[in-house]
Amino acid sequence: MGLRKETIEGILWSIPYLAVFTVFLVWPAVKGLYMSLHTYPNKFDLTETEWVGLQNYVELFQDPVFYNAMEGTLLFVAVSVPALVILGLVMALGVNRDVTGKRTLRAIYFSPYVLTVAVVALVWGQVYSQSYGLINYYLGLVMENPPGWLTSPDLVMASLAFMTVWWLVGFNFVIFLAARQSIPERLYEAARLDGATGWRAFKDITLPQMRNSVVFVVMVQFILQFQVFAQPYIMTQGGPSNSSDTLVYYLYRSAFSQQQFGYGAAMGYVLVAILILIAVVNFKVIGDSNA
């Protein structure tokens, strides 16, 4: 007996996506493992490979530039992710109340999200500029020497993170708003009869009911912000004195400026390992706690 008609049809309908998926997602993931175990001695002929085993990984873990990039990345994540989540939540809970002009507020809060990172960087490069920037003009009216937001090694990552919050907070806001609006109002009515309002209602009803969205948003933001690249690439080129270098930016430089493809591929794998670890920790910490 041959294949059923429906089986053949099912496979045929799946093939277009599966082909693209296999060639451009699965295959690179597999090939990356192979590349990370090799070096490419000839920059002009990438078919020439040399097996080096785990050497790329060993080198990576002894590489001070890698640790510096890791530090920059972690600093960026530590500022941007909590701010993105908390501000998004505050905005959503605020707009959910009885406010006039909800649609306008939602449109404004979400709007930076549709800008390309290139535009965000251009605009904020001006806002942060030391000589003619918007912030430092007003700061200059009240203080002697306003700081250089992108030129001070201590501030540059926080500045890039702040700008990123402006750019992306609308995404979280919109998700939280939908989650808040789907909480049945009767839960609050019941709580009010028990005398639970304000903070207690938030803690006992709002937060537990929104748990899934909070887990989702925290997860997405960790994974996205950990891969920060364009902001330092466009605005600071990792400077001043390498203080805004990040992992993906270093990966990009290793592979595409210095053409160390094996090293870059190994870094990609280490990045995934870190992200999986973060995801697992996230699930353990915020996923289970209120179950």
Residues 145-174 that bind another protein (CB under 8 A): 166, 171, 174
- Decide if 77 contacts 222 (C-beta within 8 A): yes
112 near another protein (CB under 8 A): yes
CB of 188 to another protein, least distance (A): 16
- DSSP per position, the chain: ----HHHHHHHHHHHHHHHHHIIIIIHHHHHHHHHHTEE---TT-TT--EE-TTHHHHHHTT-HHHHHHHHHHHHHHHHHHHHHHHHHHHHHHHHHSS-TTHHHHHHHHHGGGGS-HHHHHHHHHHHH-TTT-HHHHHHHHH-SS---TTT-TTTHHHHHHHHHHHHHHHHHHHHHHHHHHTS-HHHHHHHHHTT--HHHHIIIIIHHHTHHHHHHHHHHHHHHHHT--HHHHHHTTT-STTTT--HHHHHHIIIIIS--HHHHHHHHHHHHHHHHHHHHHHIIIIITTT-
CB of 98 to another protein, least distance (A): 7
CB of 199 to another protein, least distance (A): 14
CB of 190 to another protein, least distance (A): 21
Interacting positions 118-147 with another protein (CB under 8 A):
118-119, 121-127, 129, 131-132, 134, 137, 140
Write each residue from 78 to 97 as x if it is in contact with another protein (CB under 8 A), else as -, in one continuous string.
-------------x--xx-x
Write each residue from 30 to 69 as x if it is in contact with another protein (CB under 8 A), else as -, in one continuous string.
-xx--x----------x-----------------------
Site size for another protein, by CB under 8 A? Answer: 92
Write each residue from 194 to 213 as x if it is in contact with another protein (CB under 8 A), else as -, in one continuous string.
-------------------x
- For residues 72 and 264, which CB has a smaller minimum distance to another protein in the complex? 264
Write each residue from 174 to 193 as x if it is in contact with another protein (CB under 8 A), else as -, in one continuous string.
xxxxxx--------------
Interacting positions 262-291 with another protein (CB under 8 A):
264-265, 268-269, 271-272, 275-276, 279
- Applying CB under 8 A, which of residues 108, 207, 277, 281 lies at the interface with another protein? 108
CA distance 38 to 48: 10
- For residues 52 and 115, which CB has a smaller minimum distance to another protein in the complex? 115
| Token pair recorded at residue 50 | 């040399």
98 near another protein (CB under 8 A): yes
